[in-house]
Amino acid sequence: MAASYKLDDGQCYPTNCFPAKSLLQPRYEEGAGHWQVARHNVEKSKAEWLLGTEAAQPSWQECLRKAQCPRPHKVLNGALLIKLHHVQTPSDLCSVNISHQNFALARERDFMQFDSVAYINATENLLSLETFRNFPGLRELELSLNGLRNLKIRIGDFPHLEILDLSYNNLSPEDVQSLGMLPHLKVLHLTANGLSSLPLNLAVTESGSFPRFPALEVLLLDDNHLSDSKVFLSLANLR
């Protein structure tokens, strides 16, 4: 098992493994301007990588086609995670990078052993959001360019997830609403999903029994098709 250290929140995290960037770096304390510059640089780098030119500005449709093009598929499992990250045991791993690996399937039951994983970058695969629900300590997930649609989120999924990047997918308004069940989600990236509307009851359930997005602080909706004024009504009830 990995040694551990304690953060200000009183929880312990391993020390002798890859750093979990969402735990070790301050993210939003430096003000809105700093965040906008940092996010712009990330999106610019993503566009340059996708299309091979600094000047290119891809549409969400172009990015989605790149994620969905036929490729040889691989199965993600626990043994492969250990091999890719050069660790001895599942508990030694706390930061996962499987971006651009052409994974389309996963043996999800393996992931419960990876109890130290707090950050996953799974950009540009063909994996579902539900694939990662069995990582018990997951706090940050990057899942852009995976052809996502028809999310199947259950109550109790992702109990510790705080930051979720679903940019450059094909989510529907109903998918956005289902994300509201994530109890500790603070930052949600929905850039370039082709969204033309949002549910009017985005912040509450149909029964009104409990609020959706109870912890949300940052929501990015740039590069969609949200032009109707009703969008502001949808967002008005968010905290």
Q: What is the 3-state secondary structure (H, E, C) of 29-48?
A: CCCHHHHHHHHHHHHHHHHH
What confidence score (pLDDT) does residue 194 get?
A: 94
Give me the sign of the Cα torsion angle 90, 94, 97, 103. Answer: positive
**Residue 124 burial (CB < 10 Å; 0-12/13-18/19+)?**
buried
Banded pLDDT at 234 (limits 50, 70, 90): confident
- pLDDT, tens digit (0-9, with 9 covering 90-100), for 150-159: 999 999 999 9
What's the pLDDT at 33?
Answer: 39
**What's the average model confidence in pLDDT over 38-65?**
51
**Residues 96 and 147: beta-carbon distance below 8 Å:** no
Q: Where residue 10 falls among pLDDT bands split at 50, 70, 90?
A: low
Q: What is the pLDDT of residue 160?
A: 98
pLDDT-based confidence at residue 31 (cuts at 50, 70, 90): very low
pLDDT > 50? residue 19: no
Residue range 200-212: average pLDDT? 72
Alpha-carbon distances of 55 from 108, 148, 224, rounded to whole Å: 39, 27, 20
Rounded to whole angstroms, how far apart are CA atoms 18 and 117? Answer: 9
Q: What is the mean pLDDT of the chain?
A: 79
Which residues does 29 contact at the CB level (< 8 Å), separation at least 6? none
Please report which confidence band the pLDDT of residue 231 belongs to, taking 50, 70 and 90 as the band edges: confident
Which token pair is 174? Answer: 């109903």
- Distance between CA atoms of residues 190 and 9, nearest Å: 28
Pairing mode of beta strands 119-121, 218-220: unpaired
